[in-house]
Amino acid sequence: MAGEAEPALSSLLAVGSIHLTATATDREDAVRQTGRALLNAGAVEAGYIDAMLARERSVSTYVGEGIAIPHGTLAARDWVLRDAIVVLRFPDGVDWQGNDVRVCVGIAALGGGHIALVSRLARVLLEPRAASSLRMAVTEDQVYAILE
């Protein structure tokens, strides 16, 4: 992997994939909105949203730092049209089984690309300043900068 230039995560953000002032009534609503953002970005077919909900019910995609990363099950990869991420910020927070989620990063990846994509995203978010910057982001440019 050394020396291999991977495209920046931000290159997977389609136009219109960042929603900085979203509100959701609950976790399922937030996951559905995240799925719809992936659908609107042309990254997935509608069936992927149900798979995201199924995944979430199976085990929470909360990863700490006020961030959840909703994504489909392995079985749902046929619904994926291209690799993509979307960012939905919920300034009022969403109750995520007792955790306060401020940002959902929705993920779609073709075939086996899922693991590598989540791993790269996790490496970015492990830096505490990156996670807090994402929770506080008020412009799309800030989100792009974090995911560079």
| Closer residue to other proteins in complex, CB, 23/133 | 133
DSSP string computed for 33-100: HHHHHHHHTTSB-THHHHHHHHHHHHS--EEETTEE--B--GGGGGGB-S-EEEEEEEEEEEEETTEE
Asked if 8 touches other proteins (CB under 8 A), the answer is: no
**What is the CA angle 83-50-75, rounded to 5?**
60
Q: CA-to-CA distance for 23 and 40, rounded, in angstroms?
A: 18
Asked if 58 touches other proteins (CB under 8 A), the answer is: yes
What track of x and - describes contact with other proteins for positions 67 through 106 (by CB under 8 A)?
----x-xx--------------------------------
Query: Mutual orientation of helices 27-40 and 47-58 as an angle, nearest 10°?
Result: 150
| Closer residue to other proteins in complex, CB, 36/120 | 120
Among 10, 60, 99, 142, binds other proteins (CB under 8 A): 60
Among 8, 26, 42, 126, binds other proteins (CB under 8 A): 126
With contacts defined by CB under 8 A, name the span among 21-29, 37-45, 110-118, 137-145 that binds other proteins. 110-118
